[in-house]
A = this chain, B = another copy of it.
Amino acid sequence: MPITPIASRPHDHSHCVHSALSEADTLCAQKGLRLTALRRRVLELVWQSHKPLGAYDILAVLSEQDGRRAAPPTVYRALDFLLENGLVHRISSLNAFVGCVHPEHAHQGQFLICRECHAAIELEQKVISDAIISSAKEVGFIVEAQTVEVVGLCAGCQGA
């Protein structure tokens, strides 16, 4: 019986946003990191939905909605901070960013991206990463970072 992940079904998304932000607050406080207003706002925007968001989309919102004079470096610096500290992930096949579901521990997940609703579901399956590590080992390759990005149809979009 497959368990439909939250990203693939209707839910009170403001709860996702709030818990992500407060978790970020806690983590940054613990590690002595500065989650400045800008960084927090960018994180909030990334969490606006479960769809990966482009840097320039964030830029547009900052300029239009927040009236902040923002240029690319502003956004990229905030994103770099969030990436370094595991608060967001980068989806390189989309050049886009998505909130990390488990920022409390370092990891790099695998991503299932729905071609219909564009939501990204984060997985963290040891089976997958182990398969990659051991296959690499067979050819003498030492794995340092993995990018696993899968496109397909999520549970919610298969009927339609």
Residues of A within 8 A of B (CB): 2-5, 8, 92-93, 110, 112, 114-115, 121, 123, 125, 127-128, 131-132, 134-155, 158
Contact of A155 among B131, B132, B140 (CB under 8 A): B140
Q: Which residues of chain B come closer than 8 Å to A8, judged between CB atoms? A: 139-141
Q: Is the Cβ of A138 less than 8 Å from the Cβ of B93?
A: no
Q: Which residues of chain B come closer than 8 Å to A123, judged between CB atoms? A: 135-136, 139
Q: Is the Cβ of B138 less than 8 Å from the Cβ of A112?
A: no
10 residue pairs, one from A and one from B, having the closest CB atoms: A140-B155, A2-B140, A92-B93, A144-B152, A147-B149, A125-B135, A143-B152, A145-B151, A131-B131, A128-B131
Q: Closest approach, in angstroms, between the C-beta of A68 and any C-beta of chain B?
A: 29
Q: Is the Cβ of B144 less than 8 Å from the Cβ of A135?
A: no
In the bound assembly, the distance between CA atoms of A8 and B142 in angstroms comes to: 12
Q: Closest approach, in angstroms, between the C-beta of A83 and any C-beta of chain B?
A: 14
Q: Is the Cβ of B158 less than 8 Å from the Cβ of A142?
A: yes
